[in-house]
Amino acid sequence: MNLKEFSARIGLSQTTVSRALSGYPEVKQETRERVLAAAERFGYRPNVSAQRLATGRAGAIGIVFRGGGRFGPHSSEFMGGLSTRLQEDGIDILVSTVEGAGDEEAAYRRLAGSKRVDAVVLHSPACEDARIPLLRTLGLPFVVHGRSDTALPFAYLDIDNRGAIAAATRHLADLGHRRIALINGDTVSTYARDRDRGYHAVLAERGIAADPALLGHGEFTDETGFRLMQAFLALPAPPTAVIAGSMMSALGAMRAIRVAGLGVGNDISLVAHDDVFPYLSPENLVPPLTTTQSPIRAAGGRIGDMALRLLQGEPVESLQEVWPVDLVIRGSTGPAQA
């Protein structure tokens, strides 16, 4: 029985229960006794980290964004999952928004010094990410959404980006495509580097020469997807298939294909990586989109869970997960046209 279930059972808010069990003075003696008696009766043992967080410490997990522009569909789904999990234990999220890398470092120093958060979630890690040694030096517990090349042990949750894009590339190669384009993120980021690797591994495996002109990098927006796809279509030998790094890039790519008077699925095959946005389902597009699929909301929830376990003293080595990614085949991919 967790805090949420226990509170519901006795008809009190999670906050009141937390406080009663932690001996906060705002709670009436009568309420406290009622909560303690019920805890005994139902065999409810409060989560130690929740207790510690709710009492001795900040009761908040920090997350730093570089620029408000980073708030987009991915961040809201991730935050939704994270907050839903932290809510069960009455933990808040402290969002700091900073201008650039130097300011981000200053923000972590400030968070570590001010005791306003008990741990932080680090996102969008680079292949070599200076924030990881920094956070270790500062003694600020952290969980990384993604991975990074470092010998230092740290807690992380990542999806199998390499395997996902390898599966997408293989699916297209199986359909006879030899000119396969990839719309990727900036390969300074580990996830994008891993996607590049999955793509190139399958091209090599199938004896397809990699063409740098078919590899595009940029932000995962409709605009960038459109621009990159238009550039691909303007090549002397345009691709017959494309892999888009996000649903947003895919929307732009579909638009560019349509504008060129071509059809998605027959003229150009399209696979997108789908982080699962409830309002933008690949099956509702025309044609329905083949995707590699992994809900970023679920990742947010799991990372909240890992942060709490970290604060309970679990070693970082037991807090390392890589989630497999499914390939879901729908109407947007078909045989290569001769």
DSSP secondary structure code for residue 317 in this structure: G
**Which residue, 52 or 217, has its beta carbon nearer to a copy of itself?**
52
Q: Is 263 in the site for a copy of itself (CB under 8 A)?
A: no
- Residue 157 CB burial class (10 angstroms; 0-12, 13-18, ≥19): buried
- One-letter amino acid of 286: V
Q: Is 23 in the site for a copy of itself (CB under 8 A)?
A: no
**Which residue, 2 or 318, has its beta carbon nearer to a copy of itself?**
2
Q: Footprint of a copy of itself on residues 298-317 (CB under 8 A)?
A: none
Binding mask 164-193 for a copy of itself (x = CB under 8 A): ------------------------------
**Which residue, 208 or 280, has its beta carbon nearer to a copy of itself?**
280
Among the listed residues 113, 263, 315, 324, the single contact to a copy of itself using CB under 8 A:
113
Binding mask 75-94 for a copy of itself (x = CB under 8 A): xxx-xxxxxxxxx----xxx
Catalogue the E-assigned strands of 67-197.
92-98, 119-123, 142-145, 155-159, 180-184
Q: Footprint of a copy of itself on residues 33-62 (CB under 8 A)?
A: 47-49, 52, 60
Q: How far apart, in whole angstroms, are the C-alpha atoms of residue 285 and residue 254?
A: 10
Whether the bond between 236 and the residue before it is cis, its omega within 30 degrees of 0, is no
- With contacts defined by CB under 8 A, how many residues of the chain interact with a copy of itself? 62
CB of 287 to a copy of itself, least distance (A): 12
> Which parts of the chain fold into alpha helices (H)?
3-10, 14-22, 29-42, 48-54, 73-88, 101-114, 131-138, 161-174, 190-205, 222-233, 247-259, 296-311
Q: Is 216 in the site for a copy of itself (CB under 8 A)?
A: no
Q: Is 22 in the site for a copy of itself (CB under 8 A)?
A: no
**Which residue, 26 or 30, has its beta carbon nearer to a copy of itself?**
26
CB of 173 to a copy of itself, least distance (A): 29
CA distances from 94 to 47, 66, 155 (A): 21, 14, 20
Among the listed residues 56, 110, 152, 337, the single contact to a copy of itself using CB under 8 A:
110
The answer to whether residues 134 and 107 touch, using CB atoms and an 8 Å cutoff, is no
The answer to whether residues 253 and 242 touch, using CB atoms and an 8 Å cutoff, is yes
Among the listed residues 55, 187, 281, 320, the single contact to a copy of itself using CB under 8 A:
281
What are the two backbone dihedrals, phi and then psi, of residue 98, each rounded to the nearest 5 degrees?
-130, 165
Q: Is 68 in the site for a copy of itself (CB under 8 A)?
A: yes
Rounded to the nearest angstrom, the gap between the alpha carbon of residue 26 and the centroid of all alpha carbons in its chain is: 38
- One-letter amino acid of 235: L
Q: Is 320 in the site for a copy of itself (CB under 8 A)?
A: no
Among the listed residues 6, 14, 179, 303, the single contact to a copy of itself using CB under 8 A:
14
CB of 56 to a copy of itself, least distance (A): 13
The answer to whether residues 7 and 1 touch, using CB atoms and an 8 Å cutoff, is no
Rounded to the nearest 10 degrees, how much is the dihedral formed by the CA atoms of 255, 261, 265, 271?
A: -30
**Which residue, 69 or 236, has its beta carbon nearer to a copy of itself?**
69
**Which residue, 12 or 166, has its beta carbon nearer to a copy of itself?**
12
Q: How far apart, in whole angstroms, are the C-alpha atoms of residue 291 and residue 326?
A: 8
Q: Is 261 in the site for a copy of itself (CB under 8 A)?
A: no
Q: How far apart, in whole angstroms, are the C-alpha atoms of residue 186 and residue 151?
A: 23
What are the two backbone dihedrals, phi and then psi, of residue 14, each rounded to the nearest 5 degrees?
-60, -35
Residues that bind a copy of itself (CB under 8 A): 4, 13-16, 26, 47-49, 52, 60, 65, 67-73, 75-77, 79-87, 92-99, 102-103, 106-107, 109-110, 113-114, 116, 221-223, 248, 251, 255, 258, 277-281, 284, 286
